[in-house]
Amino acid sequence: MEIYEVFQRRTHDDPLVHAGSIKAQDLEMALILARETHFRHGEGAECWVVKREDLHAVPNPETMGGVTDRSYRRQDGYVGVGAKLKRVTEEMKKLGKSITRE
Amino acid sequence: MSDPRASLLFALADDELIMGHRLSEWTGWVPYIEEDLALSSIAQDEIAHARMLLDILSVIDGRDPDALALGRAPSEYRNAILCELPNTDFAFTLARHWLYDHADDVRLRSLQESSFKELREAVAVMLLEERYHLEHADAWFRRLADCPVEARHRFGEALAAAMGPAEALFEPLDDESAIVSAGIAPAYTEELHDEWRARIGGMLDEVGFDQVLASRAEPATGEMVPTSSGEIEASGEAEARTPSVGAGGRRGEHSEHFEPLWLEMTALYRAHPGARW
């Protein structure tokens, strides 16, 4: 038997997420058995299966995202920007200047 | 029976209830868990369908659905004998499942046109799940028929053993002419029987199992029947334990296999009358 990975969407608008794995003889049986194994309680609006051997992992996952500090590219690299802006605005105000914002 | 609707509902509900009970016996025993869940789920569907039908029957009969399901004497059950036969092995279970679910599909499709509103509405719901049962049964049918020698051979024997009792699913009902003339059932069981034979005959032909249907034209001697010991053996002079090839259920005349099933199915209900889940 083959191993199939089962994916679901909770509603038709949700992304696919992994629901689990099943064994089945072939694709047709996998489609039949996936719903009984992972969808018996109304868990999802859609059920997808793919043979495990058709899923391919990217090699060297430890280097994914880079190894140097590039936090400026991420949302969490901008923590405290509001406070910085407030502080600078006040310092400028003391000098009789202002920052205009669009 | 005074109300012809009751006659039809007892036959439909009892088939589903007893099929559901037999399938539920596989829970925990199927060779792999995915199929265990599938058979168990189908068992639950069948019992839920029995409940829908018994809810309708309850209004006509006066007894509550639990009393109808579990509080009747064995001779009051109207299921076809096919449903009560022991599971025997996986081959027989799937052969019966395939024969039964095609028969059930033929009769439910016909009942979509019933003049009996509550039944018509229940049938529409049941067909949503029965479509899946049929997919499951057909998938196994093709796989086992295409298997290497032993599986194909055992499946063929199981189909031959189940065929006679499966035909008895189409025994005429009590009050059948009243049922049909009132439009409660739009077709006579004989017509449904022909439709079913044509349908399964085509599928049996495709996989080279046409002798399963053809063998039914012959006298019953020498055919393969399941026995209480769980083996499938050739029947004949030496094999007389199974009393008939399956007629009588619709009149409440059951096989030797029914009482043990009934004792187990109704044990809790009889021990604790009125107990609630």
Cα–Cα distances in angstroms (integers) from residue B273 to residues B50, B53, B77, B263, B276, in the given order = 20, 22, 19, 14, 9
% residues pLDDT > 90 (chain A): 60
The contacts of residue A26 (CB under 8 Å, 6+ apart) are: A2
pLDDT at B216: 59
Say if CB A28 and CB A17 are below 8 A apart.
no
Q: Does B35 touch chain A (CB under 8 A)?
A: yes
Q: CB–CB of A37 and B33 under 8 A?
A: yes
pLDDT at A101: 67
Q: Does A25 touch chain B (CB under 8 A)?
A: yes
For residue range A84-100, list pLDDT tens digits in order: 889 999 999 999 888 77
Distance, C-alpha A82 to centroid of its chain: 27
pLDDT at B242: 36
Say if CB B46 and CB B209 are below 8 A apart.
no
Say if CB B131 and CB B49 are below 8 A apart.
no
A102 — pLDDT class (breaks 50, 70, 90): low
Per-residue pLDDT of chain B (277 residues; tens, 9 = 90+): 479 999 999 999 999 999 999 999 999 999 899 999 999 999 999 999 999 999 999 999 999 999 999 999 999 999 999 999 999 999 999 999 999 999 999 999 999 999 999 999 999 999 999 999 999 999 999 999 998 899 999 999 999 999 999 999 999 998 999 999 999 999 999 999 999 999 999 999 999 998 888 765 444 444 444 445 544 544 443 333 333 478 899 999 999 999 999 999 999 999 998 787 7
For residue range A28-68, list pLDDT tens digits in order: 999 999 998 998 888 889 999 999 999 999 998 888 877 88
**CB-nearest partner of A25 from B41, B132, B143:** B143
Q: How far apart are the first and last CA of chain A?
A: 63
Shortest distance, CA B203 to any CA of chain A (angstroms): 18
Q: Cα separation of B180 and B189, whole Å?
A: 10
Q: Does B131 touch chain A (CB under 8 A)?
A: no
Mutate to test the interface with A, among B26, B30, B33, B34 (most CBs of A within 10 A): B34
Residue of A nearest to B134 (CA): A32
Q: Does B38 touch chain A (CB under 8 A)?
A: yes
Contacts B35 to A, Cβ<8 Å: 33
**Stronger pLDDT, B223 or A13, i.e. the higher one:** A13
How many residues comprise chain B?
277
pLDDT at B210: 86
Residue of B nearest to A33 (CA): B34
Q: Cα separation of B28 and B40, whole Å?
A: 9
- The packing angle between helices B117-146 and B149-167, to 10°, is 150
Cα-flanking dihedrals φ and ψ of residue A57, to 5°? -85, 140
C-alpha neighbours within 13 Å on the C-beta side of residue B40? 16
Shortest distance, CA A72 to any CA of chain B (angstroms): 48
Instruction: Give B192: exposed, middle or buried? Use CB within 10 Å, 0-12, 13-18, 19+.
Output: buried
Residue of A nearest to B135 (CA): A32
Shortest distance, CA A56 to any CA of chain B (angstroms): 24
The residue extents of the domains of chain B are 4-271
pLDDT at B253: 95
Adjacent-strand bridge partners of A50? A5
Contacts A29 to B, Cβ<8 Å: 139, 143
Contacts A43 to B, Cβ<8 Å: none
Q: Does A37 touch chain B (CB under 8 A)?
A: yes
pLDDT at B86: 97
b/e sequence B152-184, b meaning 16+ C-beta within 10 Å: bebbbbbbbbbbbbbbbbbbebbbbebbbeeeb
**Stronger pLDDT, B243 or A4, i.e. the higher one:** A4
> CA geometry: angle at B78 spanning B119 and B270, to 5°?
100
Q: Which residue has the tokens 């992972």?
A: A38
**CB-nearest partner of B32 from A23, A28, A35:** A23
- CB atoms under 10 Å from CB of B251, counted, come to 13
Q: Does A28 touch chain B (CB under 8 A)?
A: yes
Q: Cα separation of B94 and B137, whole Å?
A: 7
Task: Considering the domain delimited by B4-271, tell me its CATH architecture.
Answer: Up-down Bundle (1.20)
Q: Cα separation of B179 and B8, whole Å?
A: 8
Q: Does A19 touch chain B (CB under 8 A)?
A: no
Q: CB–CB of B35 and A25 under 8 A?
A: no
